[in-house]
């Protein structure tokens, strides 16, 4: 038996064994006995791109053959780290342009860890090249990008897993199975989701020359071209709507996607949102610091709230979702969950699963989120199982699209000042031509916006 098989057995015998098998279902056995070494590439070698890649290296026999980034320093550092982490010790081939990388290398898997405004073009091109794709959330910066990504995955028969790894988080898998699906909540008719982290950058840096190690034009790509005022890809880009969809697109998507997964929800029937920049007015940032969004379903309302100032409503759950049922309440986040029954019954509390002893290399990895590493490993195993079976993974691109597009439309509702009803068959906002026109952002030339009927 080769080392891959032994490692897979060890993984599935660990603390998350039962949960892993629950999450993976029939795919698990395919992964255990899947001996092929997979050729892998990463586009976007920043913090979370590398983190996703290292979790994949931990659970599968892979050969990281190429890395792509527009920052030469970041690319070089990533290459050194990858050569130390992958079994072969080889240094991947390095690229500035993802198109050249994909044309020169045949990949089994392409991971995408770029800023949001690059997700669609890179993912679609990777699918066309023959690769299966793991793309970070949110999948797109506009709704039509997402529609094109779903269409490409289906047209080219690719497996696409979205980095909404709450669906593979061990304690949340347990909560779904033993509390939600077991009926302990009864009928759920209200959900509250929130983020009260002070995560909005409110600085006002001066315009400076672009450093010679950064291809800023390529970094900007299809997005509007902003004057250069510091390395955008070290978190600065998240504070601008030009490159993403603010805190709703960054943080709400996780909790809304987890809610949809828990309750088996599809598209909301109506979306509305209000908010703006109420407190943090001094900096360049153009994302909201205060926002509420309402996602409506039949007999169910899902409410999102974020503030980048003040104190959280519940200090124990500053970024979380809460399911309110007739028989009880479930509070959950990335660290834990609490079930509180209505009337008689026992409270249930569970904490996140850590795997520090099993994967001691995690402790030496810069900026690693130790509490999410087990979830990402399970997410990668689920992805690999779907590839082996040519099936849909737990966070299939269509599910990622529904969660992403719903959050994007919350921002569009805030912008237009009215509720929006999306028709996913016609791909329009019903009865609203102005809002429909906002489903597709203009691209900076010469980049061409992907369309669902032309991928």
pLDDT of residue 131: 98
Q: What is the pLDDT of residues 52-108, one digit of tens each?
A: 999 999 999 999 999 999 999 999 999 999 999 999 999 999 999 999 999 999 999
The pLDDT > 70 percentage for the chain reads 92
CB burial string 173-187: b at 16+ within 10 A, e below:
bbbbeebbeeebbee
73 and 110 part of one domain: yes
34 and 88 part of one domain: yes
Q: What is the pLDDT of residues 411-449, one digit of tens each?
A: 999 999 999 999 999 999 999 999 999 999 999 999 999
Q: Which domain holds residue 320?
A: 169-204+214-357+401-437
163 and 310 part of one domain: no
Q: What is the pLDDT of residues 320-344, one digit of tens each?
A: 999 999 999 999 999 999 999 998 8
334 and 187 part of one domain: yes
Within a domain: residue 453? no
The total domain count for the chain is: 2
Looking at residue 155, which CATH number applies to its domain?
3.40.50.720
The count of C-alpha atoms lying within 13 angstroms of the C-alpha of 193, restricted to the half-sphere facing its C-beta, is 23
105 and 128 part of one domain: yes
Within a domain: residue 449? no
279 and 370 part of one domain: no
163 and 183 part of one domain: no
161 and 120 part of one domain: yes
Within a domain: residue 307? yes
Angle between helices 72-85 and 47-59 (to 10 degrees): 20
372 and 420 part of one domain: no
- State the chain's maximal CA–CA distance in angstroms: 66
Within a domain: residue 336? yes
Tokens at 330, concatenated: 């479930």
Mark which of 397, 419, 445 sits at the end of a domain. Answer: 397
Within a domain: residue 315? yes
Mean pLDDT over 12-19 rounds to 42
36 against 392, higher pLDDT: 392
Backbone phi, then psi, for 333, in 5-degree steps?
-150, -165
Mean pLDDT over 303-332 rounds to 98
Q: What is the pLDDT of residues 144-195, one digit of tens each?
A: 999 999 999 999 999 999 999 999 999 999 999 999 999 999 999 999 999 9
Cβ neighbours of 251 (radius 10 Å): 19
Q: Given a cut of 60, is residue 26 above it in pLDDT?
A: no
Tokens at 367, concatenated: 């900026």
pLDDT of residue 34: 54
DSSP 8-state symbol, 168: G
Q: Given a cut of 50, is residue 264 above it in pLDDT?
A: yes
Within a domain: residue 444? no
pLDDT of residue 344: 87
CA distances from 245 to 54, 277, 368, 401, 442 (A): 27, 14, 24, 14, 15
108 and 136 part of one domain: yes
Strand order in the sheet with 38-43: 93-95, 62-68, 38-43, 109-112, 132-135, 160-162
Measure the CA–CA gap between 358 and 210, rounded to whole angstroms.
43
Within a domain: residue 452? no
pLDDT of residue 36: 84
Cβ-count burial of 125 within 10 angstroms (0-12 exposed, 13-18 middle, 19+ buried)? buried
388 and 324 part of one domain: no
Q: Given a cut of 50, is residue 38 above it in pLDDT?
A: yes
Measure the CA–CA gap between 320 and 332, rounded to whole angstroms.
6
Q: Can you tell me which residue has the tokens 């077991």?
A: 182
Within a domain: residue 330? yes
Cβ neighbours of 66 (radius 10 Å): 22
Looking at residue 247, which CATH number applies to its domain?
3.30.360.10
User: 203: closest CA among 231, 164, 171, 161?
Assistant: 231
Measure the CA–CA gap between 161 and 389, rounded to whole angstroms.
14
Q: Given a cut of 90, is residue 3 above it in pLDDT?
A: no
pLDDT of residue 35: 59
Cβ neighbours of 211 (radius 10 Å): 13
Q: Who's near 101: CB < 8 A, 6+ residues apart?
A: 41, 43, 66, 68, 93, 95
Confidence of residue 4 (pLDDT cuts 50, 70, 90): very low
DSSP 8-state symbol, 170: H
pLDDT of residue 376: 98
User: 288: closest CA among 275, 271, 304, 273?
Assistant: 275
The count of C-alpha atoms lying within 13 angstroms of the C-alpha of 353, restricted to the half-sphere facing its C-beta, is 25
pLDDT of residue 11: 40
377 and 347 part of one domain: no
């Amino acid at each position: 038996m080769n080392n891959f098989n032994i490692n897979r057995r060890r993984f599935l015998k660990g603390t998350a064994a039962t949960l892993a098998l629950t999450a993976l279902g029939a795919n698990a056995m395919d992964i255990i006995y899947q001996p092929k070494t997979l050729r892998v590439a990463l586009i976007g070698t920043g913090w979370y791109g590398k983190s996703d890649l290292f979790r994949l290296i931990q659970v599968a026999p892979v050969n990281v053959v190429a890395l792509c980034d527009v920052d030469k320093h970041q690319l070089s550092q990533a290459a050194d780290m990858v050569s130390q982490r992958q079994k072969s010790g080889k240094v991947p081939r390095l690229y500035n342009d993802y198109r050249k990388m994909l044309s020169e290398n045949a990949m089994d898997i392409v991971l995408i860890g770029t800023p949001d405004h690059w997700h669609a073009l890179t993912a679609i091109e990777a699918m066309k090249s023959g690769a299966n794709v793991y793309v970070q959330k949110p999948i797109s910066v506009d709704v039509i990008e997402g529609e094109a990504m779903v269409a490409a995955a289906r047209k080219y028969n690719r497996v696409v897993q979205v980095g909404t790894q709450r669906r593979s988080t061990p304690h949340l898998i347990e909560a779904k199975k033993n509390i939600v699906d077991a009926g302990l909540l009864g009928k759920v008719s209200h959900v509250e989701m929130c983020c009260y982290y002070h995560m909005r950058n409110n600085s006002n840096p001066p315009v400076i020359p672009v450093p010679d190690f950064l291809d800023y034009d390529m970094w900007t790509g299809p997005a509007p071209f902003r004057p250069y005022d510091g390395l955008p890809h070290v978190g600065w880009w998240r504070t601008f709507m030009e490159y993403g969809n603010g805190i709703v697109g960054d943080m709400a998507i996780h909790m809304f996607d987890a809610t949809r997964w828990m309750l088996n929800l599809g598209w909301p029937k109506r979306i509305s949102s209000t908010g703006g920049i109420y407190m943090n007015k001094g900096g360049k940032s153009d994302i909201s610091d205060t926002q509420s969004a309402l996602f409506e379903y039949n007999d169910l309302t899902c409410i999102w709230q974020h503030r980048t100032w003040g104190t959280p409503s519940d200090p124990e759950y500053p970024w979380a979702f809460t399911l309110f049922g007739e028989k009880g309440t479930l509070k959950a986040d990335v660290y834990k969950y609490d079930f509180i029954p209505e009337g008689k019954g026992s409270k249930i509390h569970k904490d996140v699963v850590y795997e520090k002893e099993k994967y001691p290399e995690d402790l030496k990895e810069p900026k690693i989120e130790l509490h999410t590493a087990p979830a990402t490993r399970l997410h990668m195993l689920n992805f690999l199982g779907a590839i082996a079976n040519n099936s849909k993974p737990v966070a299939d691109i269509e599910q990622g699209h529904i969660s992403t597009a719903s959050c994007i439309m919350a921002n569009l509702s805030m912008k237009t000042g009215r509720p929006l009803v999306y028709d996913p068959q016609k791909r329009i906002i019903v009865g609203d031509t102005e809002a429909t026109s906002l489903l597709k952002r203009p691209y900076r030339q010469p980049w061409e916006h992907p369309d669902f009927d032309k991928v």
